[in-house]
Each structure stands twice: as C-alpha cells, then as structure tokens.
Structure 1
Amino acid sequence: MAGVPRAGAELISLRDALRDAGFTLDGIRDCLGERASRALHREQVVPADLVTRTTTAPVGVLVRLFALGRSVPAEALDPVLAGWDVDRLVRAGLVAVERGQVRTLFDLRPYGDDEREWWVLSDLTESMTGQPLSIDHVLGIGGASTTLASWTVRAPVGRALDLGAGCGVQSLHLSQHASTVVATDVSERALAITRFNAALNGLDWDIRAGNMLEPVAGETFDLVVSNPPFVITPRTETMPTYEYRDGGQVGHAVVEDLIRQVGSHLAPGGIAQLLGNWEVPVGGAWRDVVDGWLDGTGLDAWVIQRDVQDPAEYAELWAGDGGHRSGTEGFEEMYAGWLADFDRRGVGEIGFGVITLQRPVGAREPWRNLVESTGSVAAPMGPSVAAGLAARAWLAEHGDAGVLATAWQCAADVTEERHGAPGADDPTVIVVRQGGGLGRAFRADTVLSAYLSVCDGSLTAGQALDAIASLVDASPEAVRTQALPQIRDLIADGLLVAPPVE
C-alpha cells in the first residue's frame, strides 16, 4: 500500500490542469468511445487499455496512468499537466518513477452529477493491481456510494454530517447544499485521502477522526448521511477485516446501533439516510428485525429493502469484493467461514436496503413505513424521498379527517392498466402504476378504481367516496373504511397529490 497523498492549497492548480488536459467525464468518453467507457465503469480495463496503448493525447496518457494503473513514459507525462511535471507529482505523493516509467500510487478520476464535476482520489482498485485489496484500502466511487448519493435529500441545510466518509464522495455532494460539512472516519488513511479530495476540489470540510458518532458527541445536524461499515463478517482470526466495510461487531450490530443512536444527533426536522444490511433468522421476517431497532428512537422511519441474499450469495459477493474469488488462495476457507457463522447464528437470509430516518417537528407520534422494492427506481431518488417524507409527515399530522377533507388528484406519472379475459365486458384486474419514484403498483378494487376516475382535484375525497357509496349501494361508512387505507398508501408514495395552490 502506498503512503498517503499530501494535501494543500496548491492542489487547486492540479485540478485545473486535469480539467484543461481533457481529463473530464466527457473527455474520457470522447477518448475511449462508448464501449470502452462503459467497460471501464464496470472496472473492466481491457477495452480502454486497447484504445489507449498507442495514444499520445493528454487525456489518453492520463487515463492509462490514473484510471487503468498502467505505467507511462516520463517524457510522455511531463508536458501533459500544466505546472505539474513528473517531479512535482512525485513530491505530492501521487506517482513513483522507475527507469523512466511512471506508475500511479492512487486511482484518480473525474466524477460528477447533473450539476458539478469533481476529481476523486482513492486507492488502486483490484482491476488496476491484479491483487486482493489491503485491509486499509480506501474505496473510490462504488455502487453503494452512488446509491446513497442518489437517494439523499438535497434540500438546503445548515449542518450536514458524512459519517464514515471514506474518500469523501458524500461530502462532495453535501457541499452543494450544506453550509457546513463535517466528515468523520475511524481510518486515518481514509481521512488523509478525504483531506486531499477536499483540497483538490477547493472545498473546506471539518474533518475528524473517530469511531461512528464519537467525534460529534453532543452535536446535532440537519442531515446525516452514512455508508457505514455494514458488511457482516465472521469474527475469526483468518477472516480479513477491511476498514472500509467491516465495523468490528457481530452480525448487523453496526447498523442497529447507528439507528438507535443517530436520533440524538438530529435537529428537529433533521434527516438521517444510510445504507445497511440486516440478518433475518430462519423462518423470520425482515420487517420484524428492523422494526425492533426503531422502538424508542422517536424517529419517523422509511426503510426500503432493495435486495435479499442467502448466506452463500452473501459470502460470494463480499469475498469477491475484496478480490478473493474461486481458485484464489484462501477463498474456500473464507467462504466456509461465512457459511459456518450464519449457520451457527441461525441466519436464513440477509437483506440490504436504504434507511431514511427523520426527527419529527413538534409533538406527534412518529410514523413507520417498511416496504420492499427490488425493481428499478427513479434516478436520482432524492426528490422522491423528500416528497415521500413530506407526504407521510402530513398524513401523520392530519389523519383520516385531513385525507377526506382534501381534493386529491392523480400525479402526472400515474397510469392505469386493465386486464381481462378475451371478449369480457369488464376487466378482472385493474392496476394503478407509478412511472417515477419507487415505481409502485397497486391493484385497485371497484371502489378505488371509481375514486381514481374522478380524482382530478375538484371533489374532496369525502365527497367522492360518498357519491361512490350511493352508486355501489353501500353505506358511506363502509366505503370510507374500505378505501381510506388504500388512498393513504397512494398519497404516501406520491400517486395522489394535492392540487397546487393558485
């Protein structure tokens, strides 16, 4: 493992030099082409290697060095970055030179969203070294980090906390809408790389060392985001424990403890969003597991299970994540260790999901919504999460009386599907489907279908349901009792919205 890079104000000029050399998202795509660019995004380096082997273009040289981990001649690199020749890159701790060939000590790539582009330094990936990761590896841009970034609510806030910052990816996003960003990590190596990335991108973060919430004892935040070390790893001497993913506790205790404790660090109305795993006992239900963690927190909770794996699938995923695969040294022992640990503790499956917690404003009972959604979702999901939090808080505050007194209308992305036997006059199944957000689909009975057909914001829900009761020859009370839970679900997930105030 290389040493740590040196952070300083002069890194702004390195950022500018990278940009001017075309080492940007668009520049790399133009250099490599779509096929090689997509492969590189999947950490498959061969197509990009083939494209750049004979290139002399500055962006091609930088791709080979910093994104593929290939050595490049010093004379080819020297003129590429204005003001940053090979000697200066060596002094910054970024590269090493041997016999006229320059090799990178870190992965360095552009990264961005719809609004900004940054440059992110992290440790060399397995695809660049061909070796398993070291236990103090600092991860770069991965699937989990981009998932959390996509799901995070992006409303302007005063204080935001990036808990377990790693290389600082979430802090980059937070810097767009938070006045103050606090970034913490237990790994000193990760903090050094976070400092480098802050300086490289011209940002000022409050960076602190310490385990989980210890560095922010007594402080509160408007937004907390965390991709915590949630991976469930057997606690044996032969099992490697990676700092970026293993919290040193048994089972899912890291995520459970964070859920139980983070509420004391949320200001009124404050939100915490994190990723996590949970173990489900044989014959058990994941909702029962997570629901128990929320007792006594006083927080609103929206937990969405996105994936489920059996113990063998889980062992394969995380052994491979560290660079250990079938046929490599120690793989079978690690695999067996995971299976034995899960069997010993009676674990039947492991769930993965996104957890959103909110401290209520004012005195009201917190709400809980634990759902499973494994399909495609909107990107980014942050706006849908924000709308869902607001809708669920409104339902908690206004109750059924408020629902009945409001003239709802179908959201613009809602469609209806009707299915029936060939030649039948009436459908046997009616499905209401959401185009954005979680892509929720609800089976509508006669009453709900009738209500949605007149749901244009002109009648209150109470008025519409009473009219439907007379048409189906049922009491208004019975129709309201039948329809209200369904209507509440549609409101919570954004299929029904209140008309805009004119």
Structure 2
Amino acid sequence: MTDPLLAPDQIDALRTALRNAEFTPQGVADYLGETAGGALGRGEFLAVRHTIRDRGDNDPRGTLIDLFPTGGTVSEKAAEAAFGAFGLAGAISTGLVEKVGDEVRAAIDLSPYGDDDGDWWVLSDLGSDVRPGPVRSDHVLGIGGASVTLAQSTVRPDVRSALDLGTGCGVQALHLSRHVEAVTVTDLSERAVRFAVTNAALNGFSWEALRGDLAAPVAGRRFDLVVSNPPFVVGPRRSEADRMVYRDSGREGDGICAELVAALPDLLNPGGYGQLLANWLHVEGVPWEERVGAWLSATGLDAHAVQREALDPAGYVALWLRDAGELTSEAAARRTDEWLDWFAENRIDAVGFGLISVHASGSDQPIVRVEEAMQEHDAVLGPEVAAWFERVSFVRGADLLATKFVTAPSLRLRQHASMGEDGWDVDTQILAMESGWRWAQEIDPVTVALVGGCDGSVTLGDQLAVLAAAYEAEPIALATVAIPLVGQMVERGMLLPA
C-alpha cells in the first residue's frame, strides 16, 4: 500500500482546519460573492485577490483562497491562523506550502470541489495557470474540464466494485465512493498514487491503490464499473524521459485508447459498465467512425462512442503545449515541429475528443453506435448514458410493430420555412430533443405524421397500416423503412414505449 503524503494525524488536523475555515465550494462562493466568484472560475486571479484585500478581514477563509485557488502569497501570521492545529510548520514540512522571503505561497494545490450531492478537498500539483512555465514530467493533474466531464458522464449504479484506471489525484474515485462498496485505483505514476491515497484519507475514504501501467495491476480481476481519464493525448511515441505522464502514454497515435477499449471485456463483470474519455485520429481517407467503430465491435459489448469536439493538428498541438505551460518555453518550437511533422507523415487531418461507453449486457447481438454530438447538450449525462443502454436493449428484444409508443416530454418539432407565392412553404422539419444529448434529426412528412400519432393508444403496426393507406404506399415497404427509423428514435429517447 502506498503511503499518503501526510501522516494520519496531520490529515485529521488539516481536515479540521479546512472545515473550521469553511473552505468549501459553497464557503468560497459565499466569501467572494458573484462577481469575484465568476472571476475565479475564469482564472482571473488578480480580481479575486483584490476582493480579498478589499474585505480587509484577513480571516482563514480568505487566506486559503489567496493561497490555493489563486496561487498568491500571504504573510506567515495569516497562514498560521488559517492552518489552525495543523500549523504553518506542518504545512511547510509536508510540502503543502513554501516560504518565499517573509511570506508563504502554495507548493501544491488544495481545491474545494463538489457537486449538488456534497463536496470534498482535492490535493494535486499546481497548474501552469497558477505557476507559469512547463510543469514537471510527473505532474499530477488536478480538477479540470476532462475530469469533470467524465464524472458528469459516468453511470451511477449502486455496485460492489469499481476500478479507476489512471486515477491521477483520484477525482473519479471520489465520485465512485458515493455508490460503490470497494474502489480500486491504479496509476503508472507513484506520485499520482500518493496524491490519490492522500485525497481518499482527507475525505474519509479508503481505496485499494495499485501502481502499474493501465490494467496490468489488476490482471485477472473483474469489476462492476470501470472508468478512466487516461493520458489520451495523441502524437508520436515519446520516450520516458521526454514525456509528461499525465498526458503522454508512451504509445504512438491513439494507441492508448484502442488498448483500453480492448481491455474492457476482461475487466467487466456481467452487467458491468466501462467508460473512458478518448482522443482519436482522423486519418485522411478513413472515416473516423470506422476506426473507432472497429475498436468497439471487437469487444463484443454494447458500445456507444460520441465525438464532442474535433481540432486540426495546429490547434491540437497548441492546446496541449499551453496546458503543460510549454507554449512559451524554449522547447516549444521543437515540440511543435516534431508533433506537426508526425501528423503530416501519418496523414492526420484532425483529432476527435469524445466519450466511449460500453455495457457487458451478455447479448450475442451487441449494438455499437458511433456518432457525433457537437451540439449543446446537458452537462450531467450519466443518467442519459445509462438510459441509452436500457433503450438499445429494449430495441434489440422488442417487437416494435406490436409496441405502442409515446413521444418524450422534451421532444420538439422544428420547422424551417421560406416565403413562397402562396405564403410560407415548409422546407425542412426537424425532430429535436431538449434534454440529454439533445439529438436532432431531419424527418419527412410521413415521419411527422407517424410521430404525431404516437400517443400510446395504438401499436406501431396499426399506425403504419393507416399511413400506408393515406399515402398510398405498400405496407411492407413502409414498414421496412419505418422500423429502423423508429428504432433509432427509441435509442435516442425521442419515442418511448407506452
């Protein structure tokens, strides 16, 4: 078992100090107010410090906000008061803060974090936005957009076991601890594992923590839920000495994501779920959907991949150099040349960002869907992901013609029309969801009539019989077109069994 960064008595003392200072998400929001709180969320630290100084009360909460979220410096006296029984000496000796002349500043990050169901504290390395310059090679990433996205997209069944592959500082494991009896975390980085077990202890949890590459530490074991926010950044294979472990896997291209997907069948218990954030290559002449679809089809599991964003090579390289604080470093030009040359040599014209979810349903006819969702969608998607798997299971086993359907409460019909000689002419009609992924698809007048008749009173087969007569269509031909279309609308939650 890896030792935490702090001893048990130090963790207890630090937790007490943070509670006494009300250094929580709500406490920080209450202290700063709407304007300064918004500035903090945007990384506008000078405005936050102005608010702290302007209040002039120099209380522990203000000191902790100045020290950690903004990376400022405070007096030794203020720090001593803020850390309470933990003490400034304890904060310095454990590497939480460091002296800078006569003042004190954070040496690692300590962030209050949470959601509507509660909150925690998270220790990690300081980001390049707080400490400019390239981060260390074994940098342990804190709370960021990717970790929040995965947490909000994870299904949340009450289960016995879960695995957080590549845990980093343990953000996913904190969420898992709410609904999982036994949580296991792994990471290649010994330093990351130490941060994770410290965060577990600080928040009153105990996780099995194992060091190793990907699934190697848990070979032969299975779990009810597997999540991973891996080092998915794509590019040339980097040597151990030339990579940052939080983003660079040591695999070439998108090999890390393909490898993780391939590992999921042997990691999941029957009925289990696996989810990971992924980047994938758009190779010239090869649809990205085919590449990712091949990964998923090989698992034999129900699977759904959704691309939420895509960047061209130049934008992609700049994003990750900026993230690691390398964009203005002396090595930035070399890194950029190597990276862009690799993209060109491998005919890569874009990189996709997305979410992959699988379900070990046990079906011998697994359903795989790969699609794009660039549209605005709900922030919290976990319930929608779980519902998608339930719906595809229904479609697979149901007699759709014998089923009565109703429209989803958030389904809307949008019409686009242009002015003609006799008034408005409808050009396109679009069915759109206003919840979940917020899918939208163009439909024809027959489908408009079909969906409009889904009030739960008659079966789909009876509806099609009426429509065939009304549109003078062959019933079999109409059913051949309608059944897969209705199946897709059920998968997307537009139509629901009555």
| Normalised TM-score (structure 2) | 0.94
SS of residue in 2 equivalent to 1:80: helix
CA 1:134–1:147 in structure 2 vs 1: closer, same or farther (change >3 Å)?
A: same
- Paired with 1:185 and 1:328, the residues of 2 have a C-alpha distance of 28
CA 1:338–1:185 in structure 2 vs 1: closer, same or farther (change >3 Å)?
A: same
User: Is 1:376 the equivalent of 2:385?
Assistant: no
- Paired with 1:227 and 1:287, the residues of 2 have a C-alpha distance of 21
Deviations 1:80-101 (A, max 9, x none): 3442221232343322335542
Any conservation in 2 of the 1:44–1:127 contact (CA below 8 Å)? no
Match of 1:17 in 2: 17
- Greater mean alpha carbon deviation, residues 94-103 or residues 301-310: 94-103
Match of 1:456 in 2: 455
Deviations 1:327-354 (A, max 9, x none): 5322121111111111122222211110
User: Is 1:49 the equivalent of 2:46?
Assistant: no
Match of 1:27 in 2: 27
Match of 1:318 in 2: 320
SS of residue in 2 equivalent to 1:134: coil
Give the residue type in structure 1 aligned to 2:15. R
RMSD: 1.9
- The offset of 1:225, in angstroms, is 0.4
- Greater mean alpha carbon deviation, residues 4-13 or residues 50-59: 4-13
Match of 1:106 in 2: 108
- Paired with 2:146 and 2:358, the residues of 1 have a C-alpha distance of 18
Any conservation in 2 of the 1:447–1:483 contact (CA below 8 Å)? no
SS of residue in 2 equivalent to 1:448: helix
CA 1:70–1:420 in structure 2 vs 1: closer, same or farther (change >3 Å)?
A: closer
Match of 2:352 in 1: 351
- Paired with 1:66 and 1:296, the residues of 2 have a C-alpha distance of 45
SS of residue in 1 equivalent to 2:136: coil
CA 1:98–1:447 in structure 2 vs 1: closer, same or farther (change >3 Å)?
A: closer
Match of 2:414 among 408, 413, 417: 417
Deviations 1:403-462 (A, max 9, x none): 111111011001111222334476332111100111111112122111111111111111
SS of residue in 1 equivalent to 2:26: helix
SS of residue in 2 equivalent to 1:318: helix
Match of 1:272 in 2: 274
Give the residue type in structure 1 aligned to 2:219. A
- Paired with 1:365 and 1:302, the residues of 2 have a C-alpha distance of 14
Any conservation in 1 of the 2:235–2:254 contact (CA below 8 Å)? no
Any conservation in 2 of the 1:391–1:492 contact (CA below 8 Å)? yes
- Paired with 2:35 and 2:138, the residues of 1 have a C-alpha distance of 32
Relative to its length, the structure with more strand (as a share) is 2
Match of 1:306 in 2: 308
Match of 1:481 in 2: 480
Any conservation in 2 of the 1:12–1:202 contact (CA below 8 Å)? no
- Paired with 2:490 and 2:20, the residues of 1 have a C-alpha distance of 48
- Paired with 1:81 and 1:253, the residues of 2 have a C-alpha distance of 45
- Paired with 1:184 and 1:465, the residues of 2 have a C-alpha distance of 53
Deviations 1:221-250 (A, max 9, x none): 111000111111323569941111111011
- Paired with 1:4 and 1:98, the residues of 2 have a C-alpha distance of 26
- Greater mean alpha carbon deviation, residues 166-175 or residues 414-423: 414-423
- Paired with 1:348 and 1:104, the residues of 2 have a C-alpha distance of 41
- The offset of 1:150, in angstroms, is 0.9
Match of 2:343 in 1: 342
Which residues of structure 1 form unaligned runs of 5+? none
Written as runs of structure 1 = structure 2, the 5 A alignment for 1:14-413 is 14-53=14-53, 55=56, 56-97=58-99, 99-235=101-237, 240-325=242-327, 327-361=328-362, 363-398=363-398, 402-413=399-410
Which residues of structure 2 form unaligned runs of 5+? none
Give the residue type in structure 2 aligned to 1:19. R
Any conservation in 2 of the 1:447–1:468 contact (CA below 8 Å)? yes
Give the residue type in structure 2 aligned to 1:104. A
SS of residue in 2 equivalent to 1:451: helix
- Paired with 1:189 and 1:462, the residues of 2 have a C-alpha distance of 61
Any conservation in 1 of the 2:276–2:356 contact (CA below 8 Å)? yes
CA 1:4–1:199 in structure 2 vs 1: closer, same or farther (change >3 Å)?
A: closer
CA 1:435–1:161 in structure 2 vs 1: closer, same or farther (change >3 Å)?
A: same
- The offset of 1:13, in angstroms, is 4.1
Any conservation in 2 of the 1:301–1:355 contact (CA below 8 Å)? yes
Match of 1:469 in 2: 468
- Greater mean alpha carbon deviation, residues 365-374 or residues 345-354: 345-354
Deviations 1:345-386 (A, max 9, x none): 22222111100011123x421111000011211121001111
- Paired with 2:35 and 2:415, the residues of 1 have a C-alpha distance of 40
| Normalised TM-score (structure 1) | 0.94
Deviations 1:171-198 (A, max 9, x none): 0000111111101001000000001100
Identity of aligned residues (%): 38
Matched residue count: 492
- Greater mean alpha carbon deviation, residues 294-303 or residues 36-45: 36-45
- Paired with 1:182 and 1:165, the residues of 2 have a C-alpha distance of 9
- Paired with 2:218 and 2:256, the residues of 1 have a C-alpha distance of 17
CA 1:373–1:88 in structure 2 vs 1: closer, same or farther (change >3 Å)?
A: same
Match of 2:492 in 1: 493
Deviations 1:131-165 (A, max 9, x none): 21111110000111111011100121111110000
- The offset of 1:116, in angstroms, is 1.0
Any conservation in 2 of the 1:364–1:396 contact (CA below 8 Å)? no
- The offset of 1:43, in angstroms, is 3.1
- Paired with 2:211 and 2:239, the residues of 1 have a C-alpha distance of 26
- Paired with 1:199 and 1:91, the residues of 2 have a C-alpha distance of 18
- Greater mean alpha carbon deviation, residues 259-268 or residues 232-241: 232-241
- Paired with 1:378 and 1:61, the residues of 2 have a C-alpha distance of 35
SS of residue in 2 equivalent to 1:261: helix
- Paired with 2:481 and 2:64, the residues of 1 have a C-alpha distance of 63
- Paired with 1:493 and 1:390, the residues of 2 have a C-alpha distance of 11
